[in-house]
Amino acid sequence: MAGGRVTPERPILLLTRPEAGSRAFLEALTDRGVTGVTAIVSPLFDYEAVEHALVEPGADLIFTSGEAVRHAGPGAGRLAWCVGDHTARTAAAAGFVTRNAGGDANDLIALIRSAKPERKLVHLRGEVSAADICGALSVAGLNCSDRIVYRKIPKPLAEDADAALMGKTPVLLPLFSPETATLLVDQGPFAAPITVCALSENVARASVPLDPVEVKISAKPDLATMVRLVAGLIA
């Protein structure tokens, strides 16, 4: 209607984590009352296990992802130093006694350094790591080594995801790691106006080549805060 208020176009929500994680994110949005959104699930990678040496008996573990927990075997009361809430919950469910940094890799390093554990530390991680946690802990005089227990296998965008990114409708894109951002950059460039919701400053920097119209950074690098951020942009 002439002179009437123009309603902003609702964005397409593009989720690029593996299927289970993307569906869980959608469920969390629904729990916050977000409905009627057009969502496309197009995982940019799958996980593949990597053979690795067994962790020494008596060592404490360091986890920076829930996926690493799934390659650690039963917790059986072992101590696990965890980067954030989601990882800590996953480790606790597997039987680990957890110490939660509640933040990012720097927070985890600070937590462990302040505690000065005497036991050997083993960081179970993916093939690509955003931070050299063992390096930082070793410099502080702690006994730490790492094990690569999984890798990400890149996947091409699904046809509907590619069409959305080449279209005119705004795309809302949550990104949880610099590696995932880079996987998407490698499949560009794209034409759609993209708003990136980044888990951290590092993720935001990795998303710059996507040429987003806007980048929003989560107030905390955890799943619940990301859900709140995305929900606020859709509502």
pLDDT in tens, 136-189: 999 999 999 999 999 999 999 999 999 999 999 999 999 999 999 999 999 999
pLDDT band at 7 (very low <50, low <70, confident <90, very high): very low
Q: Give the global pTM.
A: 0.86
Separation in Å, CA 199 to CA 107, 164, 223: 14, 22, 8
Question: What DSSP state is assigned to residue 52?
Answer: -
pLDDT score recorded for residue 9: 78
Q: Which domains does the chain have, with CATH numbers?
A: 12-44+155-234 (3.40.50.10090), 47-152 (3.40.50.10090)
Question: What DSSP state is assigned to residue 55?
Answer: P
Q: Which helix (H) or strand (E) covers residue 193, if one does? A: none
Q: Average pLDDT over the chain, rounded to whole? A: 93
